[in-house]
Structure 1
C-alpha cells in the first residue's frame, strides 16, 4: 500500500494562524499544540502518513518516556529541547534548532523539556504493507 498525500507546491505556513490543536496524548494544560500540514495517520488501522509542526511553549515538560507503533522523523526548526530527563525533570541531553532524530516503531523516547519553547517538524508513518 503506497502512502498517499495531496500535492502541495511551496506555500507559506503562517505559524500564527488559527488551526493549532492539542496533540493526542498530551495533557490539556501542557501547552503543546500541533498543526497538521500534510496527510493523516490512522493509528487504529495502522496506516497512513502525516507531517505536522509541533509547538512546545517555554517551560514545557513531560515526565515519562513514550513509545508508539509508527516511524517518526523529527527536525527541530527552532528553540531548545532537552531529551531524556528523569521523572523530576533533571538530566538529559540539551539540543537547539537544526537537530534531527529518526525513531523506528517501538523506540522509547523522552521525557522532554524546553526552557524557551521550540517548533518541531515531524513526519509519522507506518511501513507499507
Structure 2
C-alpha cells in the first residue's frame, strides 16, 4: 500500500472547527479528516477521520464502497440496520469495532444521543485477514 500520510506526533485537535458533511450523507453527520486522503479513481490512498452524528440523525439506505473501512465507536450510541424512517436496527455502545472489506454493504445508521466514530479507510492490493 502506498504511504500517503505524514508523520505526526500528537497534534492537538480542534473539535470545534474543520467539520463538513461528507458527500452522500444527510445534514447532521459530519467528518473531520485527521490525516491522508483517498484517490477513488486511482484506488489508492488512505485516510483517518472522525465522523460524528447529531442526536436523532439517520441515514436511509446501506453504504457500499471500494475500499477497506475500520470503524471504532468512541462515544455515544450507534444503531445499525434501521429502516428508511429511522426505525429498528441493532444498537451499539462505545468501544465497539467493525472492519469492512471493499464491497460490503453496511448500514443504514442512526444515533439516538449522538456519537463520534474514528474511521480508517484504505485501498490495499493484498488481502488483509484477521490477526
- TM-score exceeds 0.5: yes
After superposition, what is the alpha-carbon deviation per residue over 1:17-69, rounded to whole angstroms, capped at 9, x for unaligned? x2111112113xx2111111011111122110000001110111111111001
What does residue 7 of structure 2 align with? Answer: 7
Q: Does 1:70 align with 2:67?
A: yes
Q: Distance in 2 between matches of 1:31 and 1:90?
A: 17
List 4+ stretches of structure 1 deviating above 4 A. none
Q: Distance in 1 between matches of 2:20 and 2:85?
A: 27
The TM-score, its normalising length taken from structure 1, stands at 0.91
What does residue 23 of structure 1 align with? Answer: 22
Larger proportion of strand: 1
After superposition, what is the alpha-carbon deviation per residue over 1:75-100, rounded to whole angstroms, capped at 9, x for unaligned? 01101110011223222110111111
Q: Is the 8 A contact 1:2 1:128 kept in 2?
A: no
| Structure 2 residue runs without a partner (length 5+) | 127-131
Q: Does 1:89 align with 2:86?
A: yes
- The 3-state SS of whatever aligns with 1:22 is coil
Q: Does 1:102 align with 2:99?
A: yes
| Structure 1 residue runs without a partner (length 5+) | none
Q: Is the 8 A contact 2:4 2:37 kept in 1?
A: no
